[in-house]
Every structure is written in C-alpha cells, then in structure tokens.
Chain A
C-alpha cells in the first residue's frame, strides 16, 4: 500500500474518531446535566412543593405552590395574547398576502423579531408597560412572553398553510364557499396538526424563559392570582433562589428546575408525537 494511501486512510480514521468523540462529548454533557437535575431536584419534590408557600430561609417545610400557579397563569395569558395574533398574521401571510411586498416585509420583520434576545424583549415591555404605569404586573410578563411566541406561531402557521395544496382551496371556492369559510374550514383544518405542533413547541420554549420575566412580572412570595400585580413564577424563583446562599432555597430551586424541565420535555414529546402521527 502506497504511502499516500496510508496517509489518506489515517486521516479518515482520525476524522471518524473525532466525529464519534464529538457525539460522545455532547451525549456526556447531556447525561451529566440530566443526572445533576434529577439527583439534586428529586429530593425537593413532594406534596409540600406543590401545596405550600415559600418560607423564609432557615425555616423548613416551604414549597413553591404559588410559583407553580403563577407560571401556569403567565403561560396561559401569553398563549391568549400571542397565539391568536400569530394565527391571524400567519393566515394573512399564507392566504392573502402571498408574495406581495407587504407580506415579504412582514416575514422579514417576523424573522427579526424571532432573533431578538429575550432579555431585550423584557426591557422593551418594561419601558412600554411597567415604567408608565409604575408597577410590575403579570400582564406585562405575559405580554413579554407573547412577543416571544408571536414570530414562532406566525412562521409556523404561514409555512403549514402554504403546504396545503391549492386544489383543495379551488375546490372549496368552486363549490361557492366564501373566502373566510374556505380558509377556516379547509386550509386551517388541513394544516391544523402542523400548526398545533408549532404552537406546542412555542409554548414549551416560552415556559422555559426567565429573562423576559425578570423585570416585568418580577416575583412574589405569596399567592398571586391578580395579573395586575407582580406574579410569582418558577423561572424567576429559580434565578433568585439558586443565586442565594441558603441551602434549602437552593434545594427548592433544583426541584423547580426539575418540574420545569419535565413539563417542557413532556410538551415537546407530545408535540413531536402529534407531528409524527399526522404524517
């Protein structure tokens, strides 16, 4: 075997080794992170976590029930604000705007929004809603999360609707259906599985976001059912507790981390199963 051939084979072997090593390193980090999460978080999970309010550091027996409720509240409001607007925008882009100049501008702007860092969105909502009114509120936090969801839902709706074949639309129109009925009963219904997947993935992503909530919804150690007041959330609580010097607070932070991650992963799995089943 010539020297050149040996060298080429050696380079090939080296490249294969490095690629496999990369995969092993990535998997190693994943296993490390998940193992840390489960080992540190599982100890704090229990009935108390979901039913008790946080206690001052040093007192045992506290939980994060208010934060769990707050996170659900904030996410629900974010969905209520962001999903309808995103759906409508996506419908306009796919059905009415098509490739006109307005539609292209809106797609470009939507991409810009999607790339905006989440903390910048938090600063924006602070300047828009918190500063003029003088108070932090759950609504401001939900708006920040909705702004993060909006471009994702818009783009997903746009792309899923575009995948619906034109013949279905023409058939509906030819049968005398009004345009609005055609869009809702035919196009949307055909694209619904894909859109649902996209919305679920957007919710999963948004429920893990902390930065936009830091100075909009703030946090609270009490029950927060009024969206016009600062609202507790698991994410901001994790941020505060993990950086604190108190061991029981850090324990709660890890438990909260496990809860959030489980929720996000479950949502992602459900979304992907929906997508796989639709195919």
Chain B
C-alpha cells in the first residue's frame, strides 16, 4: 500500500489539495442533528459502493463454487466444453480472451502512440483539434456498433480479400491457414483494436501535452530531430502514464463483449490458425448464459465470469503498481 500512498500524496500535492480547508467539524453549532444526518447519509452512499463491490465478489464465488468444486483446478486446464456430457473447461475461452486482447493491443498500441505523436507534434493547430474530436467520437460510439460493423462490413472484406491474400503469402506460418470465413480470431482482434485505439490515444495525447516545453526545446536546441525529441524526451517522460494507458486498454480489451461476440465465431476449440472461429470468456457468457441448462452449466459460466473479474482486477492492479513504481524511481 506504500506505493499507493506515495502516489496518492503526490497526486494530492499536484491537485493543490493544500487549498482545501481543514476537516469540517463533525457538529456545527448551527444545526447539529441535521449535520449528523447529512454526514451519515453521505457515508451511507460510500458504504453502498463498498457493499456492491463486495457483493460482486461474494456472489460470483458463490455461484462458481459448484463448478469449481466438482472440476477442481483442472477446470482451468481442460479443453472440453461439452454441455451434453456436462464437462466444462475454461481453457478455450480463457486462451481466446488472452489471445484476442494481446493481438488487439499489438495492433492498437503502436497506432495509438502514432496518433498521439501526430496530434501533439506534427499536426498544425487547425488540424489537431478536429482530429482529436474525431478520435473522441470513435470512443463514444457504443461497442455493439463495432460488432455489427465487424459482422456485416469487415468480415466479408476480410473473407474475400484479406484472408486469401494472407494465406497465399504466408504459406509457412500456421496462423493464416484455414478456410477464409471472415469471422474468427483475426477479425475479432481487428475490431477490438479499432475499439481500443481511441482510449489509449486520448490518454497518450493528454500525457504528451503535459511534457514541459523547455525540456523538449532543450533537446531541439542540441540538434535533435523531431522523432529524436519524441524518442529521447517525450516517451521516457511519459513512460509511467503510458503504462497506465496501455493497462487501461488491456482491461477494456479483456472484458469487451459486444464488439467481439458478433465476429468471433463462438467455437470452443483451440488451434493455431487465426482464421478459426474462437471464443472469449465474454462472448461465451453472452451467447450461452440464457441457454444454460442445468446447475453445473450455469455454475461453470459463473466460474468463467469470476475468472474474468479476477483477471481484469489483477491486470488493473498490476498497472497501477507499475505506474507507482516508475513514479517512485523518479523516471516520470
């Protein structure tokens, strides 16, 4: 917790919280009873937040217990997902979630940083603002729209043009072989990447604008090209914030449901080909939750939900720790 406290203190100083007055007295002379009531009401609101978070944990664990107890730790390594035989394993969905998120970030992070560099260093002022607004519009579009666009517009293009081209030119790699159906891990990753780019780009751009001009000018004064200024000054300065931004994007990519469910193909198979239909935990839940027959099926689905919850929590906590660590090392 030390890192969190240090970070909170640093944030406090930055926010100028020294301007906040000392604690409000618990009971003013004017109306002690109303004050007590108001304080309690506010505390109630805060406690409800705590209760809800705790309730999520408790409910998920409770719901998942049946499946976890009957399958044990092999639940996470089993590849079978058979409602008929009542054999459920999380590995296909879990692997699909991780692969989709990793691929999506692999596409999105370079794109986002490129966009942020364009907005802060390259674009003239009259261009930067509309482009930045356009990126924010991308972020505001509901994710189901991405899914529908992916299914009706992108998938046919991928099936007819992209996949055959890739198969022809990468004959040695197993990743791009298989029937070009259009829906599958590849399309899902692309849709996910397009969805995640605005978030990371917006945060990265805000971070880049916070780099103090004097140190950038110093680098330019020493003869650095624009790219060298970015590489040697801007990127190291904003490293911790960028880690936070990427973590945020990763958290979103892991939990995204609608953008993925339309195009991932809904198949509990593991294979090397990116063309193959696949599943993520979120798409499994979306597709099968209302049709789950039997308590074990439902409990397995809740175990998947619990896994996703823990996974996102760990990733986000890790991101915060990494950010706090780099802040402490004095890098940024």
The proximity string for B residues 128-153 relative to A, scoring 1 for CB distances below 8 Å and 0 otherwise, is 00010011111011111111110111
Interface residues of B in 108-163 (CB under 8 A from A): 110-115, 117-119, 121-123, 131, 134-138, 140-149, 151-153
Interface size on B, residues (CB 8 A): 100
Q: How far is the CB of A8 from chain B (nearest CB, A)?
A: 6
Contact A124 B59 (CB under 8 A): yes
A33 neighbours in B (Cβ, 8 Å):
138, 141, 145-146, 149, 194
Whether A261 contacts B141 in the complex (CB less than 8 A), given A36-B149, A127-B62, A211-B286, comes out as yes
Contact B262 A243 (CB under 8 A): yes
Q: How far is the CB of A33 from chain B (nearest CB, A)?
A: 5
B10 neighbours in A (Cβ, 8 Å):
none
Q: How far is the CA of A19 from the CA of B24 in the complex (A)?
A: 50
Interface residues of B in 272-308 (CB under 8 A from A): 282, 285-286, 289-290, 301-302, 305, 308
A264 at the interface (CB under 8 A from B): yes
Interface size on A, residues (CB 8 A): 105
Contact B115 A26 (CB under 8 A): yes
B206 at the interface (CB under 8 A from A): no
A43 at the interface (CB under 8 A from B): no
Contact B111 A25 (CB under 8 A): yes
Contact A19 B21 (CB under 8 A): no
The proximity string for A residues 69-108 relative to B, scoring 1 for CB distances below 8 Å and 0 otherwise, is 0000000000000001111111111011111001111101
Contact B60 A123 (CB under 8 A): yes
Contact B138 A30 (CB under 8 A): yes
The proximity string for A residues 26-69 relative to B, scoring 1 for CB distances below 8 Å and 0 otherwise, is 11011011001100100000000000000000000000000000
Contacts between the two chains (Cβ within 8 Å), count: 293
B240 at the interface (CB under 8 A from A): no
Contact B30 A178 (CB under 8 A): yes
B165 at the interface (CB under 8 A from A): no
Q: What residues make up the interface of B, taking CB atoms closer than 8 Å to A? A: 4-5, 8, 12, 15, 17, 19-21, 23-25, 28-31, 34-35, 37-39, 41-46, 48-50, 52-53, 55-56, 59-60, 62-63, 110-115, 117-119, 121-123, 131, 134-138, 140-149, 151-153, 194, 197-198, 201, 225-228, 230, 251, 254-258, 261-262, 282, 285-286, 289-290, 301-302, 305, 308-309, 312-313, 316, 320
